Amino acid sequence: MLGLVGIALIVGWWSLVRGPDLLTRTDNPRRSIADRYVMRGSILDRRERPLAESTGQPGDIVRNYSYPALGPLVGYTNPIYGQSGLEASLDPYLRGLQGYPTLTMEWEYLLYGQPPPGLDVRLSLDLDLQTMADELIAGHPGALVFLNAHTGEILAMSSSPNFDANVLDSTWENLVNNPTSPLFDRAGMGMYPAGNALGVFLLAASQQQASGPISGLGLGACALTPTGTTWGEVISAGCTEPVMQLVSSMNTQDLIALLDELGLFTAPTFPVETLSSPRPDNLSDVFTYIASEQSDPSTDALFRVSPLQMALAAATLSNQGERPVPRLVVAVNTPLSGWVMLPVTSQPQQALQAQVANNTAQALTSGELPIWQVVAANKEATGDSPSTNPGFAWYLGGTLPEWKGATLAIAVLLEENDPLKVQEIGRSMLQNAINP
């Protein structure tokens, strides 16, 4: 009797308590078997061009990735290595476990012991812009996030280097041992020192406080040669001294509040994992670092930002001071209602006053294009060789308030101190989007 009771408790534990967890584990053999017999849903771009799709006949269905460069974002689903990226977060839709009526689900399990065919999911990505972004950043470790500053729709999201999920079985060992970390999504999870790129927001804050930019303008080291000596021109060129002056004019709590409103202490709500620096109680230790041209290991761990966070913050200057909610997964193709738009789970935030955002964007106007831009670079820390600490370069930009087309914003991060290259990448994306 005791043996029977023990067996009953063990079976009950694994079937009732741990059962749901076992079914969703990526190493569950039932999932691998189902993937061979049940067609998995496709991941499509905004024009319904396939990024990932399943092909073949039941018993021999395989997963194909028609645009491999999106590996860090789209991820993979593999019977040996599990899942990552959108393949993991969208698995309930793609596997047919969500989006069907309950009766349909029960009927499929009763007849076949498997879920119904998976549902297609549409993203906000534009494959043309995505291809352009990947070509521009190829060969340069870093990330790029290009978005609609009003709706928050991600139009392109690149991480370099990347990987090809089609050949995962033959390249896995090289991927996990590669020092450049091609499996790592730098756009959403990469955390980097912001440096002088924050100067654009400090400039906006100085206007918002009704006192205007402070006087006594100096330059110091600059990422690019300024085209003039106005506040907008020197901030756009990533000059150190003006950023230092703006930092020194703010008290700790005002600076913390500004960065908080820009979303730089909050991991963006996103279908794949994102990171953020914790919100500190005191930023006095990093005041100098924020405006420093060097990457100081003793301070850069205190405050870092991701390219996705910086792109959303940059959107405030093109979107009347409002920080949008990022959108990547737009709709799912359901069997009863066709394409159903997925709801937005949070609301945009007014980070800057509209007039202040507009004035700041105008001050950063760049050349003949209707865009604003900021370029910043962090040099190697003293004593480190470029090969071990090559520095960072940022590009932030977007369309001007008077632009009549789609409102755009961009953030580009290179893991190398090359301000000219990061400017070339960012301007090319904006220029081609404005003048296709």
Task: Report pLDDT for 26.
Answer: 59
Asked if 305 and 265 touch (Cβ cutoff 8 Å), the reply is no
pLDDT class of 386 with cuts at 50, 70, 90: very low
Domain 127-331+343-434: homologous superfamily in CATH: DD-peptidase/beta-lactamase superfamily (3.40.710.10)
The predicted model gives 171-190 an average pLDDT of 96
Token match 């879920």: residue?
A: 115
pLDDT in tens, 273-282: 998 887 766 6
Tally of CB atoms within 10 A around 350: 14
Task: Report pLDDT for 213.
Answer: 65
Task: Report pLDDT for 215.
Answer: 61
Separation CA 47–CA 408 (nearest Å): 19
Q: Regarding predicted confidence, which is higher, 375 or 9?
A: 375
pLDDT class of 291 with cuts at 50, 70, 90: very low
pLDDT class of 209 with cuts at 50, 70, 90: low
Q: How far is CA 253 from the centre of its chain?
A: 27
The predicted model gives 100-121 an average pLDDT of 83
The predicted model gives 374-388 an average pLDDT of 60
Q: Is the predicted pLDDT of residue 298 greater than 70, yes or no?
A: no
User: How far is residue 79 from each of residues 31, 32, 82, 245, measured CA to CA in Å?
Assistant: 8, 5, 6, 56
Q: Is the predicted pLDDT of residue 144 greater than 90, yes or no?
A: yes
Separation CA 246–CA 218 (nearest Å): 11
Out of 109-118, 213-222, 378-387, least confident range: 378-387
Token match 């004019």: residue?
A: 249
For 373, half-sphere exposure in the C-beta direction (CA atoms, 13 angstrom radius) is 28
Q: Regarding predicted confidence, which is higher, 329 or 9?
A: 329
Task: Report pLDDT for 29.
Answer: 67
Asked if 39 and 63 touch (Cβ cutoff 8 Å), the reply is no
pLDDT class of 79 with cuts at 50, 70, 90: confident
Task: Report pLDDT for 387.
Answer: 44
Report helix, strand or coil for 148.
strand
Task: Report pLDDT for 111.
Answer: 76
Q: How far is CA 283 from the centre of its chain?
A: 25
Q: Is the predicted pLDDT of residue 223 greater than 50, yes or no?
A: yes
Separation CA 65–CA 165 (nearest Å): 7
Q: Is the predicted pLDDT of residue 293 greater than 50, yes or no?
A: no
Q: Is the predicted pLDDT of residue 381 greater than 70, yes or no?
A: no
pLDDT class of 368 with cuts at 50, 70, 90: confident
Separation CA 143–CA 128 (nearest Å): 17
Which amino acid, 59? G
Task: Report pLDDT for 211.
Answer: 56
Q: In the chain, pLDDT over 70 holds for what percent of residues?
A: 86
Task: Report pLDDT for 68.
Answer: 97
Task: Report pLDDT for 24.
Answer: 58
Give residue limits of the domains in the chain: 127-331+343-434
Q: How far is CA 189 from the centre of its chain?
A: 7
pLDDT class of 261 with cuts at 50, 70, 90: very high
Task: Report pLDDT for 13.
Answer: 72
Task: Report pLDDT for 294.
Answer: 45
Average confidence score pLDDT of the chain: 87
Report helix, strand or coil for 138.
coil
Q: Is the predicted pLDDT of residue 374 greater than 90, yes or no?
A: yes
The predicted model gives 124-152 an average pLDDT of 98
pLDDT in tens, 187-205: 999 999 888 999 999 999 9
pLDDT in tens, 2-45: 999 888 888 777 766 665 555 556 566 667 777 788 899 999 99
Closest CA to 349 of 371, 376, 329, 322: 322
Q: How far is CA 234 from the centre of its chain?
A: 28
The predicted model gives 292-309 an average pLDDT of 65
Task: Report pLDDT for 425.
Answer: 98
